[in-house]
């Protein structure tokens, strides 16, 4: 009887995933993992953008604690939310972004959907814009920017164009390059705009510069897509931080998209509480757009999570809790400003080489130090001070017990470089 010869290939078929490439871990989360594994008692984490109190500990906002206690006393329900999310949250989120008066004028022309924090809002916005435009428009992204911007839109097939946002020599916003890029952009292109607290530079346009940006975008028929991850967290005032969005929608009467997150400004990091809304040109357009959002949400996550949305809704829907939240925003933004000044003063005290005035002109959670990769790595390896490779630091990671050490470490590294 003849025997059948089985080749190696037949015996063990190639893996279905044989062509999958290895992609390095996300830089910031990898940095956090390194920090967590570091046993040095003097280590400092200035990488991940999460708020910490004056003792370096996570802070549950009093407004969030109060809202949570109220929800627990009423009983938690674990039923599905509607596909578009919790209606009271969606409406109140759009209202806080636009302000009550503008929201009232625009309500019928808004398409609103709850999202998985800011990242989910950006991704859902990309899906919606991809479904509406053929061929796909270009997406203009400031350089530098939050790393996930390009990752989200390129994964959806968009061609992303980086434009110069920051002048490394002057350590400030390069407004002329910014405006020149907008003037040259093809009509119908999408422009990613940081509503406030630009990540990573901390350099925002002034109100007059926002007006210039808006005027060119309207003239060139460009679509503004705002990433509003830090409303109220930047200045302590939601109204001040929302200026650019409200100006574009109200004064310029433009269509726009707004991607909101309540991770930073409510401390709801793990609850993934976000909202996406589009200000459209008509009630019919809004109705149609919202129907597409509902279909896309159904295909992506089916229903968004309820718990965090209920907390945010409770805060935004109550005058008392909303006032508590405003006070919490003042507390957080004020502590960050004081730590920014403390770092500046300590850098000057230790004679750190360089000009540090730009640090105190920046705003928001992050500071952009302009250090070389060599210095950044030396700070980590020798002094156990962790920051992003581009020397973006989370100011919230500083506190009275470590700011002097960080400044002295920077000064010594600069001396040695």
Beta bridge partners of 138: none
Residues 54, 289: Cα–Cα separation, whole Å: 44
Residues 317, 322: Cα–Cα separation, whole Å: 7
- Annotated active-site residue in 109, 174, 204, 227: 227
Residues 256, 279: Cα–Cα separation, whole Å: 5
Residues 321, 383: Cα–Cα separation, whole Å: 42
Is 227 designated active site?
yes
- Annotated active-site residue in 59, 146, 325, 356: 146
Residues 200, 27: Cα–Cα separation, whole Å: 14
Residues 367, 387: Cα–Cα separation, whole Å: 10
Quote the distance between the C-alpha of residue 312 and its chain's center: 17
Is 43 designated active site?
no
Phi (first) and psi of residue 389, to 5 degrees: -60, -25
- Annotated active-site residue in 66, 264, 378, 380: 264
Q: Please name the residue ranges forming H helices in 133-174.
A: 148-155
Beta bridge partners of 139: 160, 190
Q: Which residue has the tokens 């000064």?
A: 411
Is 264 designated active site?
yes
- Local structure of 16: helix, strand or coil: coil
Active-site residues, by number, are 146, 227, 264
């Amino acid at each position: 009887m003849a025997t059948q010869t089985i080749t190696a290939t037949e015996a063990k078929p190639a893996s279905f995933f044989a062509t999958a490439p290895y992609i390095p871990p996300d830089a910031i989360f990898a940095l956090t993992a390194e920090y967590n594994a570091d046993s040095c008692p003097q280590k400092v984490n200035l990488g991940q953008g999460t708020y910490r109190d004056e003792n370096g500990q996570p802070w549950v906002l009093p407004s969030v604690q109060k809202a949570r206690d109220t929800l627990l006393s009423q009983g938690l329900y674990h039923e599905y939310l509607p596909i578009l999310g919790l209606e009271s949250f969606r409406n109140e989120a759009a209202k806080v972004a636009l302000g009550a008066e503008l929201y009232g004028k625009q309500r019928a022309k808004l398409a609103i959907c709850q999202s998985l924090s800011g990242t989910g809002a950006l991704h859902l916005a990309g899906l919606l814009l991809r479904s509406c435009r053929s061929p796909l428009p270009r997406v203009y992204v400031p350089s530098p920017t939050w790393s996930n911007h390009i990752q989200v839109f390129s994964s959806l097939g968009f061609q992303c164009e980086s434009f110069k946002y920051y002048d490394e020599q002057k350590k400030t916003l390069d407004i002329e390059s910014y405006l020149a890029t907008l003037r040259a952009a093809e009509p119908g292109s999408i422009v990613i705009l940081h509503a406030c607290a630009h990540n990573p530079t901390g350099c925002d346009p002034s109100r007059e510069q926002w007006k210039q940006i808006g005027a060119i975008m309207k003239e060139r028929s460009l679509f503004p897509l705002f990433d509003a991850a830090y409303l109220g967290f930047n200045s302590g005032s939601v109204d001040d931080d929302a200026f650019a969005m409200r100006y574009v929608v109200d004064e310029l009467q433009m269509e726009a998209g707004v991607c909101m997150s309540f991770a930073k400004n409510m401390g709801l990091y793990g609850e993934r509480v976000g909202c996406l809304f589009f200000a459209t040109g008509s009630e019919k357009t809004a109705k149609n757009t919202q129907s597409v959002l509902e279909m896309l949400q159904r295909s992506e996550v089916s229903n968004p999570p309820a718990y965090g949305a209920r907390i945010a809704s409770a805060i935004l829907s109550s005058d008392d809790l909303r006032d508590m939240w405003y006070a919490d925003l003042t507390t957080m933004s004020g502590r960050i400003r004081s730590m920014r000044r403390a770092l500046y003063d300590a850098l000057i005290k230790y004679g750190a080489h360089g000009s540090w005035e730009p640090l105190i002109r920046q705003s928001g959670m992050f500071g952009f130090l302009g250090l070389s990769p060599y210095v950044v790595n030396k700070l980590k390896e020798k002094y156990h001070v962790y920051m992003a490779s581009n020397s973006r630091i989370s100011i919230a990671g500083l506190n009275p017990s470590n700011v002097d050490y960080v400044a002295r470490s920077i000064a010594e590294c600069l001396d040695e470089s």
